[in-house]
Structure 1
Amino acid sequence: MQGIILFAHGARLSQWAEPFERVAQSVRAARPDVVVELAFLEFMSPDLAQCGQGLVEQGCQRVDVLPLFLGAGGHVRKDLPERVEELATRFPEVVWTLRAAAGESDLVVQALAQLALQIVSSPQGDLAA
């Protein structure tokens, strides 16, 4: 069984997580054969360790960790690899793969560019929902 952890920073305000929850729901809808979970670095739960353990308990044998960060700063370059390595040590029977930050993907860069172009092209600068 395959799992994916969508890993976000976290915030004190619960509404902050809504876009990330929508991403998780979209992935679940598109790939019902994959266990999709959302984990947070701080302020929110579950954290990566809790989320990873839950995926192992659900029978996942392969887990990808996708940082939902626009850039690869200290958390993505230092903290996250250490935490994924801790999971790999705790659960060596599972293949753990840390992916590049979402913001490094050309898909995300182009989506943000299209959003900016939509704003500057709109007379009122309104965004389409």
Structure 2
Amino acid sequence: MNDAHSRGLLLFAHGARDPDWARPFEAVAQSVRAQRPGTPVALAYLEFMQPDMAQATAALVAAGCRRVEVLPLFLGAGGHVRKDLPQLLDGLRATHPGVHFELHPAVGELPTVVQAMAGAALSLLATKEANQP
């Protein structure tokens, strides 16, 4: 297995009781898979939904991943990202000692995402202004 295939992406979202809530997150995972067909991508949820972190990680390890990039799909780094996620990763490291886990900042804190959200807000304002008499 080459180095590109030994690296996987674990997207981590909160989860909700309403299955429709997951659609944007599933769309992110599908988009990454489509644009990086050789990279294993898993979407995991903290609660209410499946797969959880352990199940998603097991799938990545079974696909041959020895390095897992963990991207929290949260707008900010609240308690789940700062406290719960590191504890979950400690458990995964103990379960999969041959795998390196790299935790990245919450997606909402990345400059490109901040700019995209600002762009959406500006676009909304511009559309509203253009439609006013």
The TM tier, using the shorter chain, reads over 0.9
**2:99 corresponding residue in structure 1:** 94
**2:55 corresponding residue in structure 1:** 50
The alignment status of 1:83 with 2:88, answered yes or no, reads yes
Read off the aligned partner of 1:49 and give its amino acid letter. A
1:71-99 CA-to-partner distances (Å, cap 9, x unmatched) read: 00000000001101111111111111111
What displacement does 1:33 show?
A: 1.4
Read off the aligned partner of 2:64 and give its amino acid letter. G
**1:35 corresponding residue in structure 2:** 40
- Report if the CA contact (8 A) 1:40-1:48 is conserved: yes
Structure 1 or 2, whichever has the larger Rg, is 2
The alignment status of 1:110 with 2:84, answered yes or no, reads no
Question: 2 CA distance for matches of 1:48 and 1:99?
Answer: 15
Match of 2:128, SS state, is: coil
- Report if the CA contact (8 A) 2:42-2:59 is conserved: no
Question: 2 CA distance for matches of 1:2 and 1:28?
Answer: 13
How many corresponding residue pairs?
126
Read off the aligned partner of 1:61 and give its amino acid letter. R
Within-5 A mapping of 1:110-129: 110-123=115-128
- Report if the CA contact (8 A) 1:119-1:125 is conserved: no
Question: 1 CA distance for matches of 2:128 and 2:72?
Answer: 35
Alignment gaps of 5+ in structure 1:
none
Alignment gaps of 5+ in structure 2:
1-5
What displacement does 1:123 show?
A: 2.9
**2:3 corresponding residue in structure 1:** none
Q: CA RMSD in A?
A: 1.5
With normalisation by structure 1, the TM-score equals 0.93
The answer to which structure has the higher helix fraction is: 2
Question: 1 CA distance for matches of 2:117 and 2:128?
Answer: 19
- Report if the CA contact (8 A) 1:6-1:37 is conserved: yes
Match of 1:96, SS state, is: strand
Percent of matched pairs sharing the same residue:
56
